Amino acid sequence: MHAIRHNARNNIIMTGGRFQKSWILCCQQKVSSKELSRFPCRGNRQKGENMEKTVKMTVAQAIVKFLDNQYVSMDGVETKFVEGFFTIFGHGIAVGLGEALDSDPGQLRVMQGRNEQGMCHAAIAFAKQNNRRRIIPCASSVGPGAANMVVACATATVNNIPLLVFPADSFASRQPDPVLQQLEQSSSLAVTTNDAFRPVCKYWDRITRPEMIMTALINAMRVLTDPAETGACCIGLCQDVEGESYDFPEYFFKKRVHRITRPAAVEEELEDVAEILAGAEKPLLIVGGGVRYSEAGETVEKFCEEFGIPFGESQAGKSACKSSHPYCLGGIGVTGTYASNIIAKDADVVLAVGSRMSDFTTSSKHLFRNPEVKFVSINNCRFHAYKMDAVKAVGDAKVTIEALAEKLRARNYKSAYKNEIVEAKKVWDEEMARLAGIEYTGDDFEPIIKARDPRTVPEFVKLTNGKITQTAALAAIRRVIDEEATIITAGGSLPSCMQRMWTTDKRGGYHAEYGYSCMGYEVAATLGVKFAEPDNEVYCVVGDSSFQMLHSEIMTIMQEQKKVNILIFDNCGFGCINNLEMNHGIGSLATEFRYTDGKKPTGDLIPVDYAKIGEGYGLKTYTCRTIAELEAALEDAKKQDIACLFDLKVIPKTMTDGYESWWDVGIAMTSTKESVRKAAEGVLEGRREARKY
């Protein structure tokens, strides 16, 4: 055998006896083309030899060309997988990846982010709204730019959303170390900022040689297109390697179609699930995000209708099925409706479909009170299928539900519910009407949430002249905006209210990031969703605290000339966390926006004019202090062709409260405050009642 290898300058070195000697001879004197053809060099394919044609390009150029040729196929529909690049150019990528995108981006569009976390949030929202069949990779410079993407990668991984990031890295050669923005760790020179991506990504790699990019990109595609294992993928690009040239085989850049398949659960597992469900009198189905991404909403609806099974929705699963379906009970768990939670309490079998079964879905494993309750699950991820010690069927939600239906049909199964579902929904409908009608009545006004600083409500009304209640505002938004509009929510109290109160029959019309509950997601997400649905109206509801955390992508929204609608609920604070601490006996500490007294922020409330912030960026803005003003603003915004921002002055403590639910939190078990000790006793009681695993 005779080895052939490339040296650092891409020359070919052939070693081994006659060939080495002949190669030297060839270099020292003129030889004929016939003689030269004896050497299997680049471009000289010999009959029967496995030699490929190559193309010389930089690592960054190879990344762009490869990504431009990736496609996915599901149910026979082929889709271009990569839309373009979000990037914030710094010295780590400007002259490497930047050159590649400038010279030949192919069909990929290039978008300029303003904050690395924000642009990644936009990419996550884009992928989510496309049911994970299209992505926008994100690239950053080394150091702080890279670190800014870590939170977004965690958000993507927790929510099982494909996100591909390319953070620049230090030099592979280490010759100029330490380079600008390089993190140095004395225990290992191999450690860089990008090692922080390891625990939050489903795939991680660092490119220290040009040829490594080939297996790295192929493995990233493996993860990104796998419904069971998708999440964030990080490929760190050493700055010197990023610009190095290599002779890549042409076949590396061929069109690749990654098939997203629908694996059905095996027969034995289906039988296990069917046997348990067939014995249920009062079963309950939980619609998780897997139903949405499998596009199994209609299948689930038919299944529930045929067998008389009501269903509740997780945050990720909401809008996979139609809100108007007679068996839909709405959100379930800590932020669930009365209808879902009261039915869940008595359920004897719980069928979780495509759900992670988080604490908010299970009410910290406290929701299901029937002592004989059994859990079964359908999930394409075996890890999640094992949750709650469930009897599992591992497979795609749609085909597995269809197969399960055949088995129940053969058993002539029907649940034993009588009027319980109708009665629970009736009670909730009445509560919805009450919530929608809550109005400020003056000095005697009593908000929903009782635990509060007595100064807050009257002070807020006097300071802002705001008379809007949060529940009435959400009801008004639902009445006015189009049925086909998409609405976005994430951290704070708004997802709680939205999961309970929002209704839509548009599949995918409710877009919540609540797996990581990442405040600051909402504004950037409007851009990602608008990219996915350019012809639809897109709205986000965002708390003032979440808006303050991250709204940088407003500039990108204006740059891309996208008409989106940002509704800011200004209640002068972190409302839901203020509720959490005060409901557990703690004072109102650092959760309202108050001036400091030198030790704690306990002074007067601090007013903010969010409309002026929007005006500064060039948005059409509205300040709304009453429901009538809000409705008029929403109607006027429909006529606009630029992004709109609504500054809603929302009275604190007017969000929804819990319905038949409980949430386990890490409260102090020793305290000088009687109120805290009493709350701790309640937590301990809940823990005793909850399932242990």
| Residue 301, helix vs strand vs coil | helix
The answer to whether residues 357 and 495 belong to one domain is no
Q: Specify which residues 328 forms β-bridges with.
A: 311
Q: Is residue 662 in a domain?
A: no
Q: Is residue 236 in a domain?
A: yes
Q: Is residue 379 in a domain?
A: yes
Least confident span in 2-11, 71-80, 197-206, 352-361: 2-11
pLDDT at 187: 92
Pairing of strands 245-249, 349-353: unpaired
**Residues 286-326: tens digit of each pLDDT:** 999 999 999 999 999 999 999 999 999 999 999 999 999 99
pLDDT at 50: 58
Say how far apart CA 39 and CA 49 lie, in whole Å.
12
For residue 40, what are the domain limits?
3-51
Q: Is residue 30 in a domain?
A: yes
SS3 of 241-253: the string is HHCCEEEEEHHHH
The answer to whether residues 72 and 143 belong to one domain is yes
The answer to whether residues 47 and 131 belong to one domain is no
pLDDT value at 99 more than 50: yes
Say how far apart CA 110 and CA 88 lie, in whole Å.
10
pLDDT value at 4 more than 60: no
The answer to whether residues 115 and 46 belong to one domain is no
Task: Give the residue from 452, 489, 463 showing the smallest Cα distance to 474.
Answer: 489
Q: Where are the beta strands (DSSP E) in 519-558?
A: 538-543
437 backbone dihedrals φ, ψ, rounded to 5°: -100, 5
The answer to whether residues 457 and 589 belong to one domain is yes
Task: Give the residue from 163, 384, 179 showing the smallest Cα distance to 289.
Answer: 384
pLDDT at 42: 46
The answer to whether residues 224 and 98 belong to one domain is yes
pLDDT at 676: 97
pLDDT value at 29 more than 50: no
Maximal CA-CA distance, the chain: 102
Q: Is residue 96 in a domain?
A: yes
Long-range contacts (CB closer than 8 Å, 24 or more residues apart) made by 70-76: 70/221, 70/256, 70/258, 71/255, 71/256, 71/257, 71/258, 72/133, 72/225, 72/257, 72/258, 72/259, 72/260, 73/257, 73/258, 73/259, 73/260, 74/133, 74/259, 74/260, 74/261, 75/262
Residue 486: count of CB within 10 angstroms of its CB: 26
Mean pLDDT over 475-484 rounds to: 98
Say how far apart CA 320 and CA 288 lie, in whole Å.
8
Say how far apart CA 420 and CA 428 lie, in whole Å.
12
> In the chain, how many domains are there?
4
Q: Over the chain, what is the mean pLDDT?
A: 93
The answer to whether residues 9 and 78 belong to one domain is no
What strand order describes the sheet that includes 138-140?
109-112, 84-87, 138-140, 163-169, 232-238, 203-207
List, in sequence order, the alpha helices (H) in 68-136: 97-103, 116-129
- Asked if residues 553 and 535 have their Cβ atoms less than 8 Å apart, the reply is no
Q: Specify which residues 567 forms β-bridges with.
A: 541, 646
Helices (H) and strands (E) in the chain, counts: 27, 25
| CATH number, residue 564 | 3.40.50.970
**Residues 547-580: tens digit of each pLDDT:** 999 999 999 999 999 999 999 999 999 999 999 9
Q: Is residue 641 in a domain?
A: yes
Q: Is residue 691 in a domain?
A: no
Percent of the chain predicted with pLDDT > 90: 92
Show Cβ contacts of residue 11 under 8 Å, excluding neighbours closer than 6 positions.
Answer: none
Q: Is residue 670 in a domain?
A: no
The answer to whether residues 510 and 454 belong to one domain is yes
Q: Where are the beta strands (DSSP E) in 495-632?
A: 510-512, 538-543, 565-570, 620-624
Task: Give the residue from 352, 316, 289 showing the smallest Cα distance to 499.
Answer: 316
The answer to whether residues 243 and 137 belong to one domain is yes
Q: Which amino acid is at 652?
A: P
pLDDT at 14: 39
The answer to whether residues 173 and 287 belong to one domain is no
**Residues 494-518: tens digit of each pLDDT:** 999 999 999 999 999 999 999 999 9
The answer to whether residues 246 and 350 belong to one domain is no
pLDDT band of 240, cuts 50, 70, 90 = very high
Show Cβ contacts of residue 414 under 8 Å, excluding neighbours closer than 6 positions.
Answer: 307, 308
pLDDT value at 107 more than 80: yes
**Residues 149-202: tens digit of each pLDDT:** 999 999 999 999 999 999 999 999 999 999 898 899 999 999 999 999 999 999
The answer to whether residues 159 and 248 belong to one domain is yes
pLDDT at 52: 79
pLDDT at 51: 67
Say how far apart CA 29 and CA 374 lie, in whole Å.
83
